[in-house]
Amino acid sequence: MMKNTAPIGIFDSGIGGLTVVKKLLSFLPNESIIYFGDTARVPYGSKSDDTVIDYTRQDINFLISKNVKLIVAACNTASSVALDKLRKSYKIPIIGMIEPGAESALKRTKNGRIGVIGTYATVSKKAYSKEIHRRNREIEVFEKACPLFVPLAEEGWLKHKATYLIAEEYLAELRELRIDTLILGCTHYPLLSEVIQEVIGQGVSLIDSGTASSSFVKNELDKLAQHSPHAAKSFHEYYVSDLPAKFKHVSEQFLGQPIENLQKIELDYIISLNQ
Ligand code: DGL
């Protein structure tokens, strides 16, 4: 069987994609990873489609310049706004967040009532509703934008009382709707999952993009026979377009391991890269 030791490329607007990295590291421990967090331009979720498409193209081009074998768009906003448009211009496989999340939620729900929380961009595209209804028209889907969760996660306020207050405000509506499954439709949100779980209620299953997409990544590598061999020494490199004081600390706390190879890349350089 063919093997490929090239790394997997993963990107997000900031720290959120690390929730996907964490799941991938435990699911595919032999794989090397190159992460790019566009911290200079976070958040993506309140920007226009054209801007998100431009940024996503640049993120992908940066990862391709690092010779990755597959790209994970660990950003629901980029996945719902830009991927359909961009995928056709690239040969490299690009895994988004929407299909895996929708598929997992459909497997999990028993009462057919699914909630989705995400950025303004993801919710306004109704990306999850469309994907779920493409698979099963009977399901009721309720979507709600929770944009303030993103800066709370970047700030590391994972269990802060302000986070509880904001979660109460955002989730009150969904709590009334008898959902039994809630898609965390933004990769930043699993950082706040303890608060979200407490506020929405223990009876609601949370679906996070990292768990959902890891098996999609594995299947794609299986299909292409591109897994890294067991004997290969894996490496993990992290790049950001700005280095906020808290990035390293919050990331290490969340990943539960030190981030050694963290480097700031100038935006001008990223913008200048063409496919
Ligand atoms: N983490 C991203 C997502 O999954 C984007 C959050 C943002 O930049 O607004 O949607």
- What is the tens place of the pLDDT at every residue in 220-229? 998 887 788 7
Backbone angles phi, psi at 140, to 5 degrees: -95, 130
d(CA 177, CA 204): 11
What is the distance in A from the centroid of ligand 1 to the CA of 35?
15
What is the distance in A from the centroid of ligand 1 to the CA of 16?
7
d(CA 75, CA 97): 7
What is the distance in A from the centroid of ligand 1 to the CA of 151?
10
Between the alpha carbon of residue 223 and those of residues 3, 228, 267, the distances in Å are: 12, 13, 35
- Give yes or no for residue 156 having a pLDDT over 60: yes
- Give yes or no for residue 1 having a pLDDT over 70: no
> What's residue 233's pLDDT?
82
260 CB-contact burial (10 Å; exposed 0-12 / middle 13-18 / buried 19+) = exposed
Among all residues, which ones are annotated catalytic? 75, 186
Q: What digits encode the pLDDT tens for the residues 168-215?
A: 999 999 999 999 999 999 999 999 999 999 999 999 999 998 999 999
Q: What digits encode the pLDDT tens for the residues 233-243?
A: 889 999 999 98
- Give yes or no for residue 27 having a pLDDT over 60: yes
72 pairs with which residues across the strands?
A: 10, 95
Backbone angles phi, psi at 116, to 5 degrees: -135, 130
Q: What digits encode the pLDDT tens for the residues 121-138?
A: 999 999 999 999 999 999
Between the alpha carbon of residue 217 and those of residues 13, 222, 252, 258, the distances in Å are: 20, 9, 23, 24
Q: Please compute the mean of the pLDDT values over residues 23-45 and round it to a whole number.
A: 94
Pocket residues: Cβ below 6 A from ligand 1: 12-13, 16, 42-45, 75-77, 119, 122, 150, 186-188
> What's residue 275's pLDDT?
65
Q: How many CA atoms lie within 13 A of 107 on its CB side?
A: 9
> What's residue 85's pLDDT?
94
- What pTM did the predictor assign? 0.94
Residue 94: enclosing H or E segment and its boundaries?
strand 94-95
Q: What digits encode the pLDDT tens for the residues 47-72?
A: 999 999 999 999 999 999 999 999 99
Atom of ligand 1 nearest to the CA of 209: 4
Which residues neighbour 52 within 8 Å (Cβ) at sequence distance 6 or greater? 44, 77, 78, 81, 82, 121
Give the distance from CA 138 to its chain's centroid. 27
Encoded tokens for 104: 């997992």
> What's residue 245's pLDDT?
79
Atom of ligand 1 nearest to the CA of 186: 4
- Give the dihedral of Cα atoms 61, 64, 66, 71; nearest 10 deg: 110
Q: Are the C-beta atoms of residues 128 and 143 closer than 8 Å to each other?
A: yes
What is the distance in A from the centroid of ligand 1 to the CA of 2?
35
> What's residue 3's pLDDT?
82
CB atoms within 10 A of CB 244: 17
37 pairs with which residues across the strands?
A: 12, 240
Which of 11, 13, 155, 192 is the pocket-test mutation for ligand 1 (most atoms within 8 Å of CB)? 13
The helices-and-strands tally (H runs, E runs) of the chain is 13, 10
Residue 173: enclosing H or E segment and its boundaries?
helix 161-175
